[in-house]
Amino acid sequence: MIKSNYLIIGTGIAGLSLALKASANGSVALVTKRRIFDSSTGKAQGGICCVMDKSDSFESHVQDTLVSGAGLCDSKMVEKMVLEAPNRIKELINLGVKFTRKTNFSSEFDLGLEGGHTKRRILHANDMTGKEIEEVLIKNVKKNSNITVYEECMAIDLILDDNNVCRGAYVFNNKTKSLVIFEATIIVMATGGAGKVYLYTSNPDIATGDGIAMAYRAGANIANMEFVQFHPTCLYNVDAKSFLISEAVRGEGAILKLKNGQQFMEKYDTKKELASRDIVVRAIDTEMKKNGDDCVYLDIRARGRDFIVSRFPNIYSKCLDYGIDIVNNMIPVVPSAHFFCGGIAIDENGRTSVKNLYAIGEAACSGIHGANRLASNSLLEGVVYADRAYKDSLQFTNQKLSSFKLKFLKNVEKNNQSNHPEFMEKWNEIRNLTWNYVGIVRSNRKLLEAREKVKILKKEINDYYDNVLLNVDIIELRNIVCVAEMIIRSALLRKESRGLHFNTDYPFMLSKAKNTIINVISKGE
């Protein structure tokens, strides 16, 4: 058993930031299922929003967020986040994060533009913002003697005492193939999203919604899981696994085109390429289906070699690796699952409905993103809620908790059992199912069919889980089927189309916006 003041699960921007702050108040166990740098944060290209320019205003950032969120954002939470942004950005800079400046010697930052923003307000480190932030946070975490990092340690389930207070987590150590009990006063889910539930995703392999599934099984309220954001422009290439072409490329003037070079966004929105993501994604989906094409194209050629190579060095060189010189050629792109606006329901301090359990970052649903997240608000949400959760936790770290009995989990033996290949096919079944039945455009018939299919899959997977020795694949499989079920349940509960959720049977938006809240015992769909 490992005891600490804080148990933080996940090492993206939210988990790392909180670990650094919490370390001033006690010991921190920072648990991650792969290596410390395996997170979605490291893949974030675009940047992090903050009002910096004289021509911009907090009101305008709030307004853009609310418009993008299609009436479902919690406006108070949005306002607070936008106002707290400058302090959180200062902290990142003080830790050592280097955002791109206008020129090498300039004191002014080069602010980017992305879809849904009416002003330039995106701080970036060229097109590798997440990597820059992640590297700096990890460097600071590694120097900190109050933080112990446990890599290759995959949380399986939360531990609740008889009063349903969260007391820790059962964790599978993949190096020793053994079960470890982590006990703590404050437990935080910073496990990120679940893009891998879908067939095509911009997310890394680790994004299997583990924290959301664990919290659901522990009885936490889960909100708005139907709002899965598809990124409009993932590179379409058989060899490229989930490589994003940042929205910043459209922000800098790239145009979406069909293979014959024809533009199409003006038919869908006056903001054209810079319309919000839900609109751009549905436009691409419609054009691909109408023309029977496998992809559309993004054309940045007009900006010329010097600009393209200096502003987007990573995208330029990655595309070149796949044989596409973006200086001279259009980039083939398709939409792919990118970000979960829903997740574990939290209050303004990151508290979930389970006592002692916090959730921050993409794993949480804070009310900031509503029905469609504004680009580059997610890294910001990560640092803002890490700060809030830290401040809130200060009142609880000295609480006296009664002793409690651990429940039997399941057999774990020191053996590297691999899964039955037929069983691992279930991965593909789930990912195909979500893509085809609960993807960009939905209908009641498809959702009801998906519900029946996922019920069968869940039973098969849970039976299998009960009968095999623990391993990472089966833990992830059990989580993705749980997340798929939550998405379908939530999508069926929403009798309208709003933001990212589009149902052809209810093509209109209701006048009153309501969150979808589900939990493991609630009835309905």
Residue with tokens 């899965």: 228
Nearer to ligand SIN, 39 or 378 (CB): 378
User: What is the distance of C-alpha 524 from the center of its chain?
Assistant: 26
For residue 438 the two structure tokens come to 């609960």
497 in contact with ligand SIN (CB under 6 A): no
* CB closer to ligand SIN out of 46 and 370: 46
Which CB, 5 or 276, lies closer to ligand SIN? 276
Q: Could you give the CA distance from residue 384 to residue 380 in angstroms, rounded to a whole number?
A: 6
**Which among 174-182, 372-380, 425-433, 470-478 is the span making contact with ligand SIN, rule CB under 6 A?**
372-380
Q: Is the dihedral of CA 115, 121, 127, 132 positive or negative?
A: negative
208: three-class secondary structure by DSSP: coil
Does residue number 203 form part of the binding site for ligand SIN (CB under 6 A)?
no
Q: For ligand SIN, which residue of 39, 41, 203, 246 counts as binding (CB under 6 A)?
A: 246
- Which is nearest to 184 in space by CA: 377, 4, 411, 366? 4
Q: Which residues ranging from 218 to 237 are in contact with ligand SIN (CB under 6 A)?
A: none
Question: Interface with ligand SIN includes 248 (CB under 6 A)?
Answer: yes
Q: Residue count of the chain, please give it.
A: 525
- Region near ligand SIN per CB under 6 A, out of 94-102, 164-172, 206-214, 370-378: 370-378
| Residue 303 appears among annotated catalytic residues | no
- For residue 341, what are the CA distances in angstroms to 113, 183, 233, 456? 21, 29, 18, 27
Measured from the CB atom, is 157 or 247 closer to ligand SIN? 247
Does residue 376 belong to the site contacting ligand SIN (CB under 6 A)? yes
Position 274 contacts ligand SIN (CB under 6 A): no
Query: Helix, strand or coil for residue 223?
Result: strand
| Contact with ligand SIN (CB under 6 A) among 183, 247, 287, 381 | 247
Q: Which stretch binds ligand SIN (CB under 6 A): 210-218, 295-303, 316-324, 373-381?
A: 373-381
Rounded to the nearest 10 degrees, what angle do helices 313-321 and 304-311 cross at?
100
**Locus of tokens 């305008």:** 60
Please, what is the minimum distance in Å from the beta carbon of residue 202 to ligand SIN?
A: 8
CB nearer to ligand SIN: give 246 or 276: 246
For ligand SIN, the binding residue among 366, 378, 479, 515 (CB under 6 A) is 378
Give the Cβ contact number of residue 44 at 10 Å: 27
- Based on CB atoms, which residue is closest to ligand SIN, 109 or 182? 109
Among 344, 368, 345, 360, residue whose Cα is nearest residue 392: 360
Q: d(Cα 299, Cα 332) in Å, to the nearest integer?
A: 9
Binds ligand SIN (CB under 6 A): choice among 14, 274, 375, 386: 375
| Token pair for 366 | 């804070």
Q: What is the number of alpha carbons within 13 Å of residue 425 lying toward its C-beta?
A: 5
Query: Is residue 135 within 8 Å of 24, Cβ to Cβ?
Result: no
Q: Is 134 in the site for ligand SIN (CB under 6 A)?
A: no
Q: Tell me how far, at minimum, the Cβ of 246 lies from ligand SIN, in Å.
A: 3
Point out which residues bind ligand SIN (CB under 6 A). Answer: 45-46, 244, 246-248, 339, 375-376, 378
Q: Show which residues are catalytic.
A: 277
